[in-house]
Every structure is written in C-alpha cells, then in structure tokens.
C-alpha cells in the first residue's frame, strides 16, 4: 500500500530538486507502478504544474516533457510517426488506454523497469534525456546509471533517416512482455535494443556483430536471408537473459534470436521496398 | 490538504489526506458506480473521466485531481442509459460489476472516434476486463449501438 | 411459447449498466467496523503465541481475535447440502497454519488505516513445520496436514486424515484390464490441470449487523444463502434461528462463492461486538486464500479395436484439495462420471480416485467442478486415439458417442433421456469448416493454421439432493411476486425464472416481480450451483404457478358463483362460460384481500431424481507461430444442447463467457508456487485472464433436445461451457506441431521449446 505523508505540487524544478534530495521523498510520475509496492513516502513531489506535459518539434529533434503520457505517444500525430511509429507501437500493449492516460514518459524511463517497452523503443532511437542537474546525456547511459536524486526533465529524440521496428512477445496481449526488441537501421549503423530479458533494456553491441558494410546492406535493403539469420544469431548471443514467472532464460534467448531476425528482416525489406519504389520512379 | 474538485458538475472543496485515492474519494461522495477490482491497475473497473480523459481512479491521488473536472457514470446517466440499453439488449451486462468502467471507457472511445472499427474497439477497451461475457456480447452491443447512432439514433 | 425461448432483457439490466449501488459494499452501513485478517507466511506452522497488546493500543481498534477466542467446533466452508461430503476440518481461526495465507488473527477497527497498523503491530511466534507441497507425494506422507483428533468426515467418502486423504474411491463396470489387454490400440496419458482461479470481478465480501431481534444479519456476495446460514451456525456455534443471510447483486461467482470464504470473519466480529462489521477481500487475498479449481492429474487409458470402436476407458484422478477439504470429495467424482459417460456402449470402464490434502491454498468449486479436468483428459486421449488409428476425430466420435436413449453406466445408471450431441458435433464440424481445414495448413512464414475439437457434458443439478423452491403470489393489482432462494450472480436466473412464471401464468415478464435470496423470506433452495437453477428451481416455479393458477380459478369461481367446469381463465380474466360474466385478475387479486379463505400464494418445492446432462461440441481454429509458440485464436465455435433454450441471449453469453474462461485456463492462466509454498500469481498483474484482444472470435449455436423432466424441456447451461476449450486447443496445437501437450496451460514457451527439441 502506498502511504504518503505530504504532497507538494512543485512550483519550480529547483524546488522539486531540493525536495528530492531526501531519501524518503519521491517524485511521482503516473504513480502506477509506485502504487503497487508497499511504499512509505514522506513527501510526494508532483511535477504536473511545471508545463512538462507537452512535446515540441524542433528543427532536428523532438522534445518530450517528462510528464507527457504514454497515450500522447499514440495520439500526438508527430510522435506517432516518429521512428517509423515505434513509440506508438511500443506502448499500445501496455494495459489499456486509461492506464496510458496516466503513465508518463518520464516515469517509464526514470523507473528503468525491467519490463519497460518504452525504454526499449527509445533506446533504438537517437535519444537523450535531460537531467535537471547533470544536463543532457544519452539514454543508454541513463538507463545504465539512473537519475539518482536528479530529475529527468525532458527527452530528446533526434530526427534522422533511421527506419525502426518494434517487436515484443507477450503471454497475453496486454501483459508485461516476455521479451522486447527495438531495432533501427540508419546510414550510421544498426541499433538493437532488447528489454524484459527480464532485466532492463540494453543496447546490444551491434558493432561487434555487424561491420559497417553489413549494416549498410540492411540499410539499403540488400542483405540476404542467410546473412540476416547469421547477424540475428550473433546479436541474440549478446543479449543476457534470465528467468522469471513469465518465462525461462532459454526461451528468452530463443525469442531474442527470432525477434531480432524478424526485426532485421523487416528493416531490410522496408529498405528494399523503398529502393524499388525509387527505382520505379 | 485542501482540494477543489468538480465532481459531475458539482464543485466540492474538502480537506483530504495526501494518499487518498481518487477512487475512494468519489465513492465517499456517493459515486458507487466506480468499483475496485484489483490493486494493480489492471482491471479498468474504476475508470472515471479526468478533464474528459478516461483514467484509472485507483491510480490517481485525490490531491492530483485538485482543480480538475471529474466525471463518473453517475454524471453521464443519459449516455449510460442510451448505450447501456444495447449491452443489456445482448444480455452482456451479466453480473454488471465491470459495466460502469467499460461503459465509461466506451463513451470515451465514441467521443474520440465515433466510428471505430472492430479492432479499434477491442484495442481501446483492452484495459477493461470482464470475466462473465467473453467480450463477444459486449462487442455485439457496441456495434448495434454504433449502427443505431449512424442511423440517426433511430432503432 | 410466449416468453420462454425469447431473448428477454434481464430485470436488473438497466440498474447494472447505469452503475446503481446494488452490490454488497455499495449498501454496507457507513459505520461498519473494518475487518481484516492477519495471514500466515508459512505453509505449515503452529502459532505459539500472538502478542496483541501493541495492536490493541492503536486508536480505533475494536477487537483482535486469535484461535483462543473462537469456538472450537470444526466445520466446513463448503456450500453443500447437509451432511456435507466435505470434511469438517476448519475452525474460524486455528492454531495450526496449513497454507501461506491461513488466517492467524482477526482485527476489527474503525477504519482501514488503523486496522492495517494493528495488523503490522501483531507479533506472532510460529513453530515452523515441514510442509507437504507436492500433491503426488501427499498420500501417506509423514507430514500430516490434518493431524488433529477432532477432524471429522460426515459422509462415507473414503477420507482418512491420518493418510492425508480427503476422499478416495472407485467405480467399475466390467473387467477393464482384460478388455484393454484385448484392444488393438490403447492410448494412455496423464493430464495435469492447475488450480485455475474463478477471477470474478467482485472479490469476496460480506457485511453483518445485529437486527431489532438481536439476530445476526449477514449480507454477502454469495451463491448459497441457506448454506451460509447453516455454516455460520456451525462456525459460531449459535442456533440457525439467530442468523439471517441475504444476498444483494453479486459481481460474479463461477462457483467461488459456493464456499463461505469471507463470511465467518465479519460474522464473528459482529456477533462478539454486536456492531456492524464489513470485510472486503483484496484481490491478493482473493487470489491466494480462496476457493479455486482443484488441481488434478487425470490418468487415462482408452482402448479401441482397429475399426475405431472404443471398448474401454480407465480413469484415475489424483486431486489436490489443498489445506482444507471444501468440495474435495465431490469435484473428483465428476472427473470420471462426466468424462467416461461421453462414450456409450463401452465393454468396460473404471474410475478410481484419491483426493489429497497438501499445504497449499484449499480448493473449492469452479464452473465445471471436476468435469472440466476429466473431460480435458479423456477428450485429449480420444483425439490421440484418432491420430493413432488414422481416423478423423469427428468420425471416431460419431461412431462412439453416447446417444439418446442409452443407459449411462458411469453416470449412476441414468438413461440419456435427451441428447443432441450428434447434431452438435455435425454442426460444429460445418461451422468451423473441418473438411477443408483439418488438420492444418502451413502459411509459409513459420505460421500454421490448424483446427481441433472436443465434446463435453455436465449435469443439471445434483440428483436426489438439490432442492429448489419457489413461492408465487398474486398481488392486488394483478401482478405476481416470485420469491426464490436461488442466487442470480449475473447469470440472469431472476429473469429466466420470471420468464417461466410468465409463461405459466400467461402474463408479461414485467408483471412478475422477483425477490431473493433471503433466508428469512425466500423458500428453501440449495443455492445456485451444480447447474441446478434453471432445471431444478425452474421446475419448482412451474409447479408453483400451476398450483397458483388452480387457486386463482377457485377464487374466481367463488366470485362468479360458478363451477370449475364452466370457468375459463386466460391469465387476464376469468369467465363463466354459462353466464358470460367475467372477473379480471386485478379484481381477483383485490378480492383475495377481503373475506378470503383461498391463499393466492403458493410455495412449491422440487428435487429431481435424475440429472440430465447438457451436451456440447466445440471446435477451434488457431494460427500458431512455430518460432515464438504464440497461439492466436482465429475462431472458436460451439454448439450446445441445453434442452430448450429459455433465454437465447443469456444462454449465448453464458457460453461465450465460459469458453473465454476455458481459453484462459488452456493457454496462460498459470499457478506458480515458490519452494516454500507461496503462491506467486497473486494479482491480476500476475494471473492473466483473457482480455478482449486474446479470445478471438467466439461463435455459439444451439441444437436443442427436449428434456422431459425439465421445465419446458430445459437442461442446464452454466457450467458445461467451460469444458471444451482445453482439449480442443490442445488438439489444434497438436495438429499444428505434432506434439501432445499434457499439462495446462499450454504456454507459448512450452510450444516453442517443445518444437526446438
């Protein structure tokens, strides 16, 4: 049961930051996951009065406020198409619309939950997060280190040429995922994120598996089936997996290879299709 | 702490504990349609509108609803009757315990998307669990209601 | 017929869809004491000491009770007719903790906050004992779940607490071993079904208060008000006359509320304090300390000759009743009687069983009540037999299924008086497109579409045991009141019984008021379980209405001063055919209240010596992803013979709902324990029931037989509908993968990893 002694709707980030330095105080995002544990909070810090619930398109990036809801990733037309629409794709299976109207982007990332679809998807994009004190850092670094007593304020997603795909396996449609993967293919290379392993999402060291030419093949849609299969096997081997109530490590490792191969294949096919279209024009 | 909430059109000012959940607050104000089916934000029974958006009232602090408009099925009586009659027309209300939450969320769907496809209906209402109906009767009721609305509200 | 067979809207429908406060917690007095229990963290332990003082000092705390405070007479929480086959193995609070979740202490206080604080402040010293958690090792285990001297079994069910046996027994016809030895083909296998949860949306809840007469009033979300009264009388050791039990609207039951899960705690508090008290189970409590399905391992041997003539079925069931014996001795029976009996004219059959105690959550009644487990096993084995014989499973069944008019030796020798199972199967075959789709079709992308099917049966009430009653009376405005003790738990029995009354009395359904269930005012009814209400209570309604009609006529004769022979009554008015004089129903009703000696109120009771089974066939088409193991349901079709369909809408939704539950149990509703016996699937987050995205398309049709002993030819519908999904899905998964999975749920992991082997 969640017990809260005091509640403060922060009037500034500085105030929120200061309050957040005490261990017994907690920033509340959507409050969905926080509520489920037995938690005794001294002061609940609410950021919802700070205008951080919107998103903004800049010349070369999108800025998403930490209090934007997961539902906004679906309903905001600009965000819904960002990164081939993987943000929308990654949240659509999360419980239900009413849940996603509350759960926040900031809360989902800051919680660094093992099961997070959201973290997995953002990792495949060129994403940075802004911490109040520490400033902008890459999401992968944040995912590994966390916010500590700092505050995640905004999320930045670079606009680029990448094609993305998001895949997950679930025991039922709206359950926590058994495994998530998000892949992107850009001129600069391939990115593969895997989450719900069941530990938190990581970026798979794709460079160790695919050289520049391999990645370029996929980006141009020229990779063949055997190559994709081989890349998938190598990439999946770099995804550490474990067992929990939902599945065993062995099954997750198997799924990692299947989903990564399907992801790579989809990226390759998409590129081939676009190339075909261009050639036809 | 003191909050001011407009509940079903009625302004209420009240002192509440910081950890009081909106679900318990609306029930304490006579909105018994709002049910609790779980403690893990999974069932959808406690759905209310906060500033017109369907949310799980089990997962919202009452203090966070300060200054906001909250609506429950009690405040949507006409819509509930009009749409609910189609669920009843299929016998799909069954035990009825999940109905208020499902009907609230369906009303939200109709407002957002007046002509949803079958897939869109299922996706929007996926967070509303029902153990009685197997969902088919609810779907038939929704589709019959949509056809009735499309026909200008004449049965 | 004017109203029977019509899709009448439920009488309570508009109240429910508009969210009216009609459930237990909506109507509980606001000044109720909040009651919660402290639960054991150990699977097997003795409570050495409970230090209450700290808890008692917390402001607002009214009472803290432990085993030392409660009556010492053992009882059962099973809602069954007395003497209950379930053993008397419970106390309200016991010193001996027998599963993780067993109540140690009851705390009552002014609000949830202080009660939670008090629960945290209770200091309990346990003597932790080794636990028996594996039901396969429980029989004759050195650890006894019920070593106590005062354990009692009231009925001869083969129980022995010294052997961890809640029940055991056998039935046999012919020499099974000999026939099996003589068969050309024998398939055998053991099929494991977990303790699936009913997961009704409304958790267990009860409130109590003392009335004007000093009696304990119990308002509870229950299927069985009369059993609640008796069980509380046993538990509290007070006279039944001091208790009244009432049920308001119920937010689903599915059998869960055929056990007195929550009632004893607030009842004890109110009886002791004389103050109103309320207990609302959390979802976690509902998942971990309630009354789920009995885990069973059903071992089957089926023998046939080369031509596909099934000659013998041998079923052995090992059932796990958990820490207490509720419904243990009875559920197990159905696993044999309702599975073997699907097949007629066997040369021999045998059914043997053991029901064991373990240190896990106790089981109870869940829709299907053992039949689900047995049918899953036998239907899987029959499908495997078809594969072994290389014969179409539809044909194998048509050649062997039980037919109308046959005597069913494994079904207490009853004659199959109404049966359209053959028509059900043929129609299902058509609806699913069996000819084109069986067994499977590769889609070329690692995915395969396949089909599977199964049959099922159930019963209609418990023969010679269940009692249904109805009181019907004429009011002065010509409207009737129907009083029943059956419990509408959302199924619509209030409406269905009113439809029957309206049919008999030739009046609109709206002119029948239904009231129930209340032990003070309702006529006796065993309660709504065992698929009994339509069939048993329905017949009582029919009998009561017939008698009331006779008495209305008698009163009309008095008013018209005519004889019975010349009186014509059409439900609205009575006419003396000689004189042409008439009297309306309203006037008869009014006249019954002035100078009248003819009661226009009738109570009739019905019990049936037989329990005619409803039948069904179900078939499913799935798309299976051979790499991930994911099973997508494309189409589930079911055709049911429940005799006359009293309300097609309500029967259809019963079927669709039961099938969805069966799908969940078959594919992903998991029951996982830690090594210490703690149940992990303790929430809707960890116990995944189907959402509307998971069930695919469900289509239901009816092929009705006519059951002569049922009201208007009706049989039951509520339970049978859960029985086909598990075997049909298992069959479809085999047809897609070539693997027979013999343990539920068949998760995507099992499928994918099975295919990798």
A67-81, pLDDT tens digit by residue? 999 999 999 999 988
Could you tell me which CATH class the domain C419-455+612-757 is placed in?
alpha beta
- Lowest average pLDDT, out of A35-39, C268-272, C606-610, goes to A35-39
| For chain C, domain boundaries | 13-129+201-252+256-288, 419-455+612-757, 468-606
Please report which confidence band the pLDDT of residue B155 belongs to, taking 50, 70 and 90 as the band edges. low
Q: Same structural domain for residues A129 and A238?
A: no
**Residue A194 domain flag:** yes
Statement to judge: residues A199 and A240 lie in one domain: yes
Instruction: Evaluate if residue A161 carries a pLDDT over 90.
Output: no
Is residue A188 situated within a structural domain? yes
The pTM score is 0.98
The residue among B120, B118, B91, B97 whose CA lies nearest residue B108 is B120
Looking at the structure, tell me whether residues A15 and A87 fall in a common domain: no
CATH number of the domain located at residue range(s) B2-74 in this protein: 3.10.20.30
Tell me: do A171 and A123 sit in the same domain.
no
- For residue C316, pLDDT beyond 90: yes
Residue of B100, A33, B138, B21 lying closest to C201 (CA atoms): B100
A189 and A258, same domain (yes or no): yes
Nearest to A42 by CA among A65, A13, A21: A21
Q: Which residues of B touch A41 (CB under 8 A)?
A: 19
Q: Which residue of B has its CA nearest to C13?
A: B88
Within a domain: A198: yes
Partner-chain residue, chosen from B126, B131, B139, that has the shortest CB–CB distance to C689: B131
Which residues of chain A have a Cβ shorter than 8 Å from any chain C Cβ?
Answer: 1, 36, 169, 171-176, 178, 245, 247-248, 250-251, 254-255, 258-259
Residues A179 and A268 in one domain: yes
| pLDDT tens-digit map of C524-579 | 999 999 999 999 999 999 999 999 999 999 999 999 999 999 999 999 999 999 99
Q: Are residues A177 and A140 in the same domain?
A: no
Best CA proximity match to C35, nearest among C294, C230, C172, C209 = C209
Q: Do A169 and A274 reside in the same domain of the chain?
A: yes
In a domain, A50, yes or no: no
Check whether the bond before C517 is cis (ω within 30° of 0).
Answer: yes
Distance of CA C660 to the CA centre of its chain: 15
Residue C521's pLDDT band, with cuts at 50, 70 and 90, is very high
With vertex at residue C504, the alpha carbon angle to CA C499 and CA C510, rounded to the nearest 5 degrees, is 40
C685 touches chain A (CB under 8 A): yes
Which residue would you say has higher pLDDT here, C269 or C445?
A: C269
In this prediction, the answer to ipTM > 0.90 reads: yes
CATH 1.10.150.120 fits B75-150, yes or no: yes
- Please report the residues numbered 711 through 750 in chain C whose beta carbons come closer than 8 angstroms to any beta carbon of chain A: 747-749
Q: Which CATH class is domain C13-129+201-252+256-288?
A: alpha beta
Residues of B in contact with C20 (CB under 8 A): 32-33
For chain B, say whether A171 makes contact (Cβ under 8 Å).
no
Mean pLDDT computed over A119-128:
98
Residue A280 confidence (pLDDT): 79
Q: How far is CA C495 from its chain centroid?
A: 19
Q: What is the pLDDT of residues A12-29, one digit of tens each?
A: 999 999 999 999 999 998
Beta-strand relationship, C205-210 and C310-322 = unpaired
Q: Does A46 touch chain B (CB under 8 A)?
A: yes
Cα of C421 to nearest chain A Cα, Å? 33
| Whole-angstrom distance, CA of residue C401 vs CA of residue C444 | 37
Classify domain C468-606 at the CATH topology level: Aldehyde Oxidoreductase; domain 4 (3.30.365)
Q: Is C513 helix (H, G, I), strand (E, B) or coil?
A: strand
H runs (alpha helix) in chain A? 13-20, 70-75, 77-81, 86-91, 97-100, 105-110, 117-124, 139-145, 212-220, 225-237, 249-280
Please indicate, yes or no, if residue A26 is contained in any of the structural domains. yes
Judged against a pLDDT cut of 80, whether residue B154 lies above it is answered with no
- What does pLDDT average to over chain C? 97
Cβ-Cβ contacts under 8 Å, B72 against chain C: 19
CA distance C194 to C185: 29
User: Which residue segment(s) compose the domain that A258 sits in?
Assistant: 163-280
Domain extents in chain B? 2-74, 75-150
Both tokens of C1, joined, read 């017929």
Q: What is the pLDDT of residues C371-429, one digit of tens each?
A: 999 999 999 999 999 999 999 999 999 999 999 999 999 999 999 999 999 999 999 99
Please tell me the distance in Å from A259's CA to the nearest CA on chain C. 9
Cα–Cα distance between A210 and A214 in angstroms, integer?
Answer: 6
Facing B84 at nearest CB: one of C17, C655, C695: C17
B150 CB burial (10 A radius; 0-12, 13-18, 19+): exposed
d(Cα C139, Cα C355) in Å, to the nearest integer? Answer: 9
Cα-Cα-Cα-Cα torsion C648, C654, C657, C663, nearest 10 degrees, comes to -100
Which residues between 64 and 93 in chain B have a beta carbon less than 8 angstroms from any beta carbon of chain A?
Answer: 64, 66
**pLDDT exceeds cutoff 80 at A106:** yes
**CATH code for position A240:** 3.30.390.50
Instruction: Tell me whether domains C419-455+612-757 and C468-606 share a fold.
Output: yes
CA A172 vs. chain centroid, Å, equals 20
Residues A176 and A198 grouped into a single domain: yes
pLDDT at A279: 80
Domain count, chain A: 3
Residue pLDDT, tens place only, C108-137: 999 999 999 999 999 999 999 999 999 999
Phi and psi based region of residue C711 (left: phi greater than 0; alpha: psi -120 to 50; beta: remaining): beta
Q: Out of B19, B54, B127, whose CB is closest to A95? A: B127
DSSP string across C104-134: EEEEEESSHHHHHHHHHH-EEEEEE------
């Amino acid at each position: 049961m969640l017990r809260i002694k005091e509640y403060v709707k922060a009037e500034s980030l500085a105030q929120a930051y200061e309050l957040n330095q005490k261990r017994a105080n907690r920033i509340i995002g959507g409050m969905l996951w926080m509520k489920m544990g037995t938690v005794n909070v001294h002061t609940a810090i609410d950021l919802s009065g700070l205008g951080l619930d919107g998103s903004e398109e800049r010349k070369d990036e999108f800025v998403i406020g930490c209090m934007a809801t997961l539902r906004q990733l679906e309903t905001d037309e600009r965000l819904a198409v960002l990164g081939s629409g993987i943000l929308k794709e990654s949240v659509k299976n999360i419980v239900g619309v009413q849940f996603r109207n509350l759960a926040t982007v900031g809360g989902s990332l800051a919680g660094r939950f093992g099961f997070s679809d959201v973290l997995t998807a953002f990792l495949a994009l060129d994403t940075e997060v802004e911490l109040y004190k520490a400033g902008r850092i890459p999401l992968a670094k944040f995912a590994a280190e966390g916010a500590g007593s700092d505050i995640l304020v905004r999320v930045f997603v670079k606009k680029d040429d990448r094609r993305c795909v998001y895949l997950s396996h679930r025991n039922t449609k709206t359950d926590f995922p058994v495994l998530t993967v998000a892949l992107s293919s850009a001129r600069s290379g391939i990115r593969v994120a895997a989450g719900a392993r069941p530990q938190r999402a990581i970026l798979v060291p794709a460079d160790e598996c695919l050289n520049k030419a391999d990645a370029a093949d996929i980006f141009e849609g020229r990779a063949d089936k055997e190559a994709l299969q081989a890349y998938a096997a190598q990439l999946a081997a770099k995804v550490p997996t474990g067992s929990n109530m939902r599945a065993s490590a062995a099954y997750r490792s198997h799924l990692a290879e299947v989903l990564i191969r399907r992801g790579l294949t989809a990226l390759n096919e998409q590129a081939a299709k676009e190339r075909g279209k261009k050639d036809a024009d | 702490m003191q909050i001011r909430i407009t509940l079903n059109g009625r302004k209420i000012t009240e002192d509440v504990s910081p950890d009081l959940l909106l679900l318990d607050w609306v029930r304490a104000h006579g909105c018994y349609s709002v049910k609790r089916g779980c403690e893990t934000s999974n069932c959808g029974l406690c759905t209310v509108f906060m500033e017109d958006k369907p949310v799980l009232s089990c997962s919202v602090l009452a203090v966070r609803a300060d200054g906001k408009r909250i609506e429950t099925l009690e405040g949507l009586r006409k819509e509930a009757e009009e749409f609910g009659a189609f669920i009843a027309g299929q016998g799909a209300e069954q035990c009825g315990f999940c109905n208020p939450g499902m009907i609230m969320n369906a009303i939200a769907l109709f407002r957002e998307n007046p002509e949803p496809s079958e897939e869109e209906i299922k996706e929007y209402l996926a967070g509303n669990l029902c153990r009685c109906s197997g969902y088919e009767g609810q779907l038939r009721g929704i589709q019959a209601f949509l056809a009735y609305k499309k026909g200008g509200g004449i049965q | 017929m004017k109203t029977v067979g019509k899709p009448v809207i439920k009488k309570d429908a508009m109240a429910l869809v508009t969210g009216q406060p009609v459930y237990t917690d909506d109507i509980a007095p606001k000044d109720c004491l909040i009651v919660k229990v402290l639960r054991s963290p150990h699977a097997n332990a003795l409570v050495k000491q409970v230090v209450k003082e700290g808890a008692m000092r917390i402001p607002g705390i009214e009472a803290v009770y432990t085993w030392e405070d409660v009556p010492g007479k053992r009882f059962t929480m099973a809602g069954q007719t007395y003497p209950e086959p379930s053993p008397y193995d419970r106390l309200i609070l016991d010193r001996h903790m027998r599963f993780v979740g067993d109540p140690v202490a009851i705390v009552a206080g002014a609000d949830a906050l202080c009660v939670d604080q008090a629960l945290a402040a209770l200091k309990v010293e346990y003597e932790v004992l080794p636990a028996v958690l594996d039901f396969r090792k429980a029989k004759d285990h050195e650890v006894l779940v019920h070593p106590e001297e005062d354990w009692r079994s009231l009925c001869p069910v083969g129980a022995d607490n010294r052997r961890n046996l809640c029940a055991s027994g056998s039935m046999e016809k012919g020499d099974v071993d000999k026939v099996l030895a003589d068969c050309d083909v024998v398939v055998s296998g053991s099929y494991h079904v977990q303790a699936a949860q009913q997961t009704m949306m409304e958790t267990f809840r009860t409130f109590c208060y003392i009335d004007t007469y000093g009696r304990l009033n119990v308002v509870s979300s229950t299927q069985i008000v009369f059993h609640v009264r008796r069980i509380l009388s046993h538990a509290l050791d007070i006279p039944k006359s001091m208790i009244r039990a009432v049920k308001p609207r119920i937010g689903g039951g599915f059998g869960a509320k055929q056990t007195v899960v929550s009632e004893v705690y607030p009842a004890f508090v109110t009886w002791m304090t004389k103050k109103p008290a309320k207990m609302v189970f959390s979802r976690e409590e509902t998942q971990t300390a309630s009354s789920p399905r009995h885990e069973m391992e059903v071992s089957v041997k089926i023998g046939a000759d080369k031509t596909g003539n099934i000659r013998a079925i041998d079923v052995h069931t090992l059932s796990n009743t958990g820490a207490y014996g509720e419904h243990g001795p009875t559920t197990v029976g159905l696993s044999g009687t309702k599975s073997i009996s699907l097949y007629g004219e066997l040369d021999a059959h045998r059914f043997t069983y053991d029901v064991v105690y373990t240190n896990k959550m106790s089981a109870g009644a869940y829709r299907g009540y053992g039949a689900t487990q047995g049918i899953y096993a036998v239907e899987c084995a029959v499908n495997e037999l078809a594969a072994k014989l290389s014969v179409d499973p539809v044909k194998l069944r048509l050649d062997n299924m039980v037919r109308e008019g046959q005597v069913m030796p494994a079904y207490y020798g009853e004659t199959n008086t109404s049966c359209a199972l053959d028509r059900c199967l043929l129609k299902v075959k058509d609806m699913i497109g069996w000819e084109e789709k069986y067994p499977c079709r590769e889609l070329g992308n690692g995915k395969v579409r396949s089909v599977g099917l199964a049959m099922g049966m159930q019963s209609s009430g418990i023969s010679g045991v269940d009692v249904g009653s109805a009181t019907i009376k004429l009011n002065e405005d010509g409207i009737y009141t129907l009083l029943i003790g059956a419990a509408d738990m959302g199924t619509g029995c209030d409406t269905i019984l009113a439809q029957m009354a309206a049919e008999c009395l030739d009046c609109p359904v709206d002119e029948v008021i239904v009231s129930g269930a209340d032990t003070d005012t309702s006529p006796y009814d065993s309660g709504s379980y065992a698929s009994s209400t339509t069939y048993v209570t329905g017949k009582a309604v029919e009998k009561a209405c017939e008698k009331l009609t006779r008495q209305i006529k008698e009163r009309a004769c008095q008013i018209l001063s005519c004889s019975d022979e010349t009186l014509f009554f059409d439900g609205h008015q009575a006419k003396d055919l000689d004189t042409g004089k008439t009297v309306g129903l309203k006037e008869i009703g009014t006249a019954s209240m002035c100078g009248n000696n003819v009661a226009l109120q009738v109570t009739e009771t019905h019990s049936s010596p037989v329990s005619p089974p409803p039948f069904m066939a179900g078939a499913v088409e799935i798309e299976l992803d051979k790499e991930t193991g994911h099973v997508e349901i494309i189409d589930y079709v079911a055709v049911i013979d429940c005799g006359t369909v009293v309300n097609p809408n309500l029967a259809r939704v019963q079927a669709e709902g039961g099938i969805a539950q069966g799908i969940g149990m078959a594919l992903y509703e998991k029951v996982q324990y830690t090594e210490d016996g703690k149940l992990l699937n303790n929430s809707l987050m960890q116990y995944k029931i189907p959402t509307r995205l998971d069930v695919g398309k469900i289509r239901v049709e009816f092929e009705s037989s006519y059951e002569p002993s049922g009201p208007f030819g009706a049989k039951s519908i509520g339970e049978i509908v859960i029985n086909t999904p598990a075997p049909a899905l298992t069959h479809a998964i085999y047809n897609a993968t070539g693997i027979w999975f013999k343990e539920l749920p068949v998760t995507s992991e099992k499928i994918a990893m099975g295919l990798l082997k």
